[in-house]
Structure 1
Amino acid sequence: MLRQLIGREIKGLGKVLILLLALGVFIQLSGLLLNNDGSRYATQLYLSLFLPALLLLLRERLMLDLWRQLPAVIFLFLLGWVLLYAGVHPGSDKDFWNWLKLVLLLIFYVAAVASLTRHEKFLMLVLVISLIVAAVFAWLTLYYQFVVLDRPLSYEAFRWVRLWELGWRGFGDLKHPIIAGLYYSIFTIIATWLLLRPGMGPWRSLFLMLAIAGLAFYILLTFSRGSWFSLGAGGLALLLITNSRKSYALLSLGAVVLCLAAYWFWPELQNEQRVGVNGRELIWVGWLGRLSEFWLMGRGAGADFEFTFPTGQSFIHAHSLYLQLWYEYGLVGIGLFVAFVLSLLFKAWQCRALPLAQLAMGLLVLAMVAMISDVYAIFHRPSPYWALFWFPVGILLGLRKPVT
């Protein structure tokens, strides 16, 4: 049965390439949890994702139909601007060839996701297996923290010692609670999207609800408020664009849960309000004070935005992707990026009747809100931020608008 399915689904593309691409995208999404060695993760991506994507582009004559759409054209112009700055701007942090390699890898990744989108059953398989891995790791982390380590479940115990790793042999180590919160938010959106799909029986629905519960509890204990708001915005966008009885039922249930949680944890919420944005406002004011130095031409691809607090603590980025991109690439660069995101939103709206467009809309809104305060770079080596931003980009570019 599986052999017949594969044969029908990828007859015109080649079994080996499409299966490798599915494996490569799965590794990109889930390898961050399954690998405890960064070099092994990179090697797996080159062999299972980037090389097959290159061969696919050559086999399909560069997939010209993929690039003949407004969001893709803006995407290529944006990458061209990044390369131009890498080559000519003296403030760029790496040489032109390193930036060329990065740009090519991004093109390969977006093309790979777009190709899987056009073979929806394989993308669905990647999404489901990746979700299972993420949900299992979320529940294993909770088990390890509360059962093995016997940590108390209290606000005081977790507020300043937040979750970002499984805690066993380096697996599931996402390096920082903000990254962990955003990473698991991706799979919470995916699980919610699957739950909204018609034909989900009681057992599948139960599994998805358990997955959402574990993922959401993990995200809560990261105490990444940016992740909370980003997930809320992405989930709201997904529920509204789905526009079904089930989505509005979940929306109502979510509103009730939030009201009860606000009532029950009101003292903790007041404390979070007192904490504020952890000094980000000082960084943003500092960025605004230097605006006249870079607003037009920027400081160069990958340039550090250096800021030092009165306490002596220093940071090298603006704690906002939008501000950081403007700082690096100037007015044209941030203009191209904003135009790119808006064109993606417009395409998602045009394709809103398609289930994958609904998923991509939720993921893209999640990324857009996260980029306000919690994402510092998207033009860099493969990382959780690729899954956060470039994954929904690939889905949207791969979708074909419904014929009316």
Structure 2
Amino acid sequence: MSDIKKVVLAYSGGLDTSVILKWLQDTYQCEVVTFTADIGQGEEVEPARQKAVALGIKPENIFIDDLREEFVRDFVFPMFRANTIYEGEYLLGTSIARPLIAKRQIEIARQVGADAVSHGATGKGNDQVRFELGYYALQPNIHVIAPWREWDLLSREKLLAYAETHGIDISKRKSGASPYSMDANLLHISYEGLALENPAAEPEEDMWLWSNSPENAPDAAEYVELEYSKGDIVAINGVAMSPAQVLTKLNQLGGKHGIGRLDIVENRYVGMKSRGCYETPGGTIMLKAHRAIESITLDREVAHLKDELMPKYAKLIYTGYWWSPERHMLQTMIDESQQTVNGWVRVKLYKGNVIVVGRESKTDSLFDPNIATFDEDGGAYNHADAAGFIRLNALRMRIAANAKLKRG
């Protein structure tokens, strides 16, 4: 332990990481550098600075970074180009944030000459894997300190007692906030623990913080037009926006109309099943709209190949392999497929539903109305060609059927 001179801690200012900060000082007798990331969690991050100072951290050792644009531009958007969902439903809101936090931690460690990094993920969850795979991929010889795998403070009561003993100020939860274990960023907010540990129990309505219930959503539908360039949304209703602005606006629209609630039991990488609830209003709109613009701009076999590879890509993100060579390889293929994904999609938002009502690409559409029409097409398509096509595709089945008839 005496070999550790300086450690960069992923620090939120909450109970867990405040206790970890003090524990690192006492256990490792090292200098602690705090890093707080603003990735759109919707809460002020500056209070973390005062809390760090109160625990003896030098001002020059406190890093608070606004990473919202980088998060959406370099992580969320690339993931959505693949129409990524895990186990058929989960839009990976927590998973996709971890590689960015790990990246910035390693950058700070290099900047300040730290020989270790630390995080507050528990030994039961996926996040410990996601953080640490990122650390090692970017700085192979970094030392990682995971307090939850070392200490005996394995309950909230013990953490609170430690905080009281060491004079750590833990601000009370804001009035009206959810009591669940939560994680939030610009893509989603998650809820775990308490009554949710019973998968048969319906979540209480007041748990949800970002969205109206579909029952209480507006009675009038709202139309939204999304403009795409190379697979990414660049404008909403004709107004050009940055990536973070796009997701912020779609979150507001989706939440208003009761879109993006999810209640699932997922398979964690460490082996257990876990029940979680998620609100991903903007991401839910993005997924539906992106598939719509791809439907007219992607070749059939390219689209089908993307769909076949997507579960593998999703699993890589869920399990923490964002920085792996195989994810990079898949991303290169996915990004290449998006060169023609340009145009606009119109969706109707109504009581929890995202309904595609129009899509167009003036430059890259593969939809030919002269061929697709049910009216006379002027010879653009020869119906007689289908007979040979069908007979050739049926050949192997005809051969097998004849063999079965001979066997009696």
If the length of structure 2 is used for normalisation, what is the TM-score? Answer: 0.26
- Of structures 1 and 2, the one scoring higher in RCO (CA 8 A, sep 6+) is 1
Structure with the higher fraction of residues in helix conformation: 1
Point out the structure with the larger strand share.
Answer: 2
Give TM-score, length-normalised by structure 1.
0.26
